[in-house]
């Protein structure tokens, strides 16, 4: 290719690679986002450094969340400190089964009230994923967001053995994991991947991630 054409193409290529890194930082050949460090400036997504405490401040639309986790063993303490809410700035504290692997702020339903998504990976070879998530309900207080476990749905659970990845992409919440066939060793799946795409909808006592589409590759 002509050198001038290559120079014009470079920015577009760099942007495409950056988008892939944000969606699934662990994808082969794609550099991960920088790990979160204590005292970092506000960001939209932060990835944990392996074996280190997690401490990051994430913000969107004037609302900020400081997310910290001990990440010292199989059971850890998670804290979410909101700021910018109109009424209730109460700190959320939870015991989590696993370590925080990443956190992300988004506004899936585009209502001007962002959500915070904290991604948790369990200890052990299965590396089962879960989330702790809250929506800034009308920018006044936090309301919890519920994600139905994959294991509760027999169709989705077929071939599922953990190793989940989570991300927000294109106005949807995405959960992706490898599929195992009978006889596959843990860590060596041969069945491709299953990607679950969710919409954020009102629930009975908060918000719920509602399965909108399943994609298998």
pLDDT in tens, 27-85: 332 233 444 444 344 679 999 998 899 999 999 999 999 999 999 989 999 999 999 99
Nearest to 129 by CA among 157, 161, 170, 171: 161
CB atoms within 10 A of CB 86: 11
Q: Any bridge partners for residue 116, and if so which?
A: 105, 134
pTM: 0.81
Sign of the CA dihedral with 18 first, then 44, 133, and 108 last: negative
> Coil, strand, or helix at residue 163?
coil
29: left (phi over 0), alpha (psi -120 to 50) or beta: left
pLDDT in tens, 179-190: 999 999 988 999
Domains of the chain, by residue range, sit at 33-216
């Amino acid at each position: 290719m002509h050198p001038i054409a290559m120079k014009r193409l470079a920015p577009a290529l760099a942007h495409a690679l950056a988008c892939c890194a944000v969606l699934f930082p662990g994808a082969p050949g794609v550099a991960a986002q920088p790990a979160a460090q204590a005292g970092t400036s506000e960001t939209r997504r932060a990835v944990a450094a392996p074996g280190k405490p997690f401490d990051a401040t994430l913000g969107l639309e004037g609302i900020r969340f400081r997310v910290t986790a001990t990440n010292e063993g199989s059971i850890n303490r998670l804290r979410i400190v909101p700021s910018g809410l109109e009424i209730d700035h109460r700190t959320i504290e939870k015991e989590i089964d696993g370590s925080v692997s990443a956190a992300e702020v988004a506004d899936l339903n585009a209502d001007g009230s962002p959500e915070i998504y904290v991604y948790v990976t369990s200890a052990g070879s299965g590396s089962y994923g879960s989330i702790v998530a809250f929506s800034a309900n009308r920018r006044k207080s936090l309301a919890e967001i519920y994600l139905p476990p994959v294991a509760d749905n027999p169709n989705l659970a077929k071939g599922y053995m953990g190793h989940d990845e989570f991300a927000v992409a294109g106005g949807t919440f995405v959960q992706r994991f490898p599929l195992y066939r009978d006889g596959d060793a843990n860590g060596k799946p041969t069945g491709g991947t299953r990607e679950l795409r969710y919409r954020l909808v009102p629930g009975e006592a908060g918000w719920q991630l509602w399965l909108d589409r399943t994609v298998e590759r």
